[in-house]
Amino acid sequence: MTGKRLIILAALFSLLLAGSARAQIEIEISAPGQKTVPLALPLFLPSEGPVRAELAVEIDEVLRSDLELSGLFQQLDPTVFLSDAFRLGLSSPQVDFGQWRLLGAELVIKGGYRVDGDELTLDARLFDAFGRRLLTGRRYSGKVKDLRQMAHAFADEVLNSLTGVKGPFNSKIAYISDATGHKELYLMDVDGHQPVRLTDHRNIVLNPDFSPVGKELIFTSYRDNNPDLFRKELYTGREAKLSSRKGLNIGGRFAPDGREIALSLSQDGDAEIYLLAATGGINKRLTQQWGIDVDPSWSPKEDEIAFVSDRQGNPQVFIVNLLTKKVRRLTGSGRYNATPAWSPTGELVAFSRMENGQFDIYTIRPDGSGERRLTFGAGNEEHPRWSPDGRFLAYSSDLGGKKKIYVMRSDGSGARQISPPGSNCQHPAWSGRW
């Protein structure tokens, strides 16, 4: 009744208002008409010197692939581009924004390249076609072989300009591959290009993790017939054993500040979570419980660690507070939950769950709410790891036979295979900003 009265009163009131003033209407628009931003990306043109179509095409490929993965854009069909697409014009007065607006583009990326021997200079610009202004611009100089890195870096910059958070495209993904017949550590670009083998242990290497500071990796290797923890400097190629305690030395994960490493040691019987100093000494034992405790993952605030334990019968994800050592269970449903990965923003924990003999990837909030399944269908999807900006997840899938590395958006959309075909690839780890 009061509601009706209110409506009548409001109607009368609005009538009064309508009488006194010009029509003033209130509307609510609660969703955009287009859920992507229309972007035009013409081929880069030579800013000096001869046309190098193959370079322009490769830059185009990298940018398109990265921006597509971001999910943010609707890339306009290049066949409809008008004359401005074929003019260099890298400053806003030189760009014919009218043409781009006519095509419906809100954003335009233009660029020029100059090749001098094996030296490459890349100029890239992002324009706002409606504001008629430059949003961001970068010049990259290097070798021709660094072209993909330059293009990735500009894709990162485009996201930075539009969202305030840099993209992760100019970073690396470490993974384990059996291409040589042994499980060895590899490194590749985020789009799977330029894979490089890093170890030659000729046994089993697993569970790599990047140091957040410096170009350094830790991993577990059976090189000396015991699962020991190793560290490896990428530039020098130097390797060192960090922990070779009796039993397991597995699942090493750097703290977000890089000063400590959480891992599982089984020196006292069953596997427990410990904190090591970066030099390898034990700083703290975190769990003391019957059952195995493995796969630690740091919260970005470094106050908690998510891990897997079978202390209640079957594997579940728990969270331990580093100060109080109090443990709470995170996953409430599912009989088998494993490999947690805390997002760099702190808002989600990704993990894999086995149901009906098959693994799929889920996310859940650290308070145990908002569980969401990200992968569906056939294949085992497991070992999720976050991109440094929290936008994407890398994981392994054995869909179609061999294990391959995939990346997808953090909402489960846009999944694509990135690892080279032909071998089993698993245990991805995404580097920090490169």
Question: Which CB atom, from 88 or from 165, has the smaller least distance to another protein?
Answer: 165
Among 19, 20, 28, 83, binds another protein (CB under 8 A): 28
How far is 265 from 278, CA to CA, in rounded Å? 15
DSSP 8-state symbol, 35: S
Among 131, 332, 421, 422, binds another protein (CB under 8 A): 131
Among 5, 29, 356, 401, binds another protein (CB under 8 A): 29
How far is 423 from 181, CA to CA, in rounded Å? 9
Tokens 């890239």, residue located: 124
CB of 376 to another protein, least distance (A): 16
How far is 59 from 67, CA to CA, in rounded Å? 12
How far is 16 from 118, CA to CA, in rounded Å? 75
Question: Which CB atom, from 268 or from 411, has the smaller least distance to another protein?
Answer: 411
How far is 14 from 428, CA to CA, in rounded Å? 61
End-to-end CA gap in the chain: 63
Q: Interface with another protein includes 127 (CB under 8 A)?
A: no
Stretch that binds another protein, among 138-146, 150-158, 159-167, 185-193 (CB under 8 A): 159-167
CB of 37 to another protein, least distance (A): 5
The binding track of 296-335 with respect to another protein, each residue x by CB under 8 A or -, is ----------------------------------------
How far is 317 from 351, CA to CA, in rounded Å? 8
CB 155 within 8 A of CB 148: no
Q: Interface with another protein includes 71 (CB under 8 A)?
A: yes
Stretch that binds another protein, among 21-29, 170-178, 202-210, 260-268 (CB under 8 A): 21-29
φ/ψ (deg, to 5) at 191 = -100, 15
Question: Which CB atom, from 70 or from 207, has the smaller least distance to another protein?
Answer: 70
Q: Interface with another protein includes 162 (CB under 8 A)?
A: yes
Among 19, 20, 25, 237, binds another protein (CB under 8 A): 25
By CB neighbour count within 10 A (0-12 exposed, 13-18 middle, 19+ buried), where does 52 fall? middle
How far is 217 from 196, CA to CA, in rounded Å? 14
Give contact residues for another protein (rule: CB under 8 A).
1, 22-38, 70-74, 106, 128, 130-131, 162-165, 345, 347, 391, 409, 411
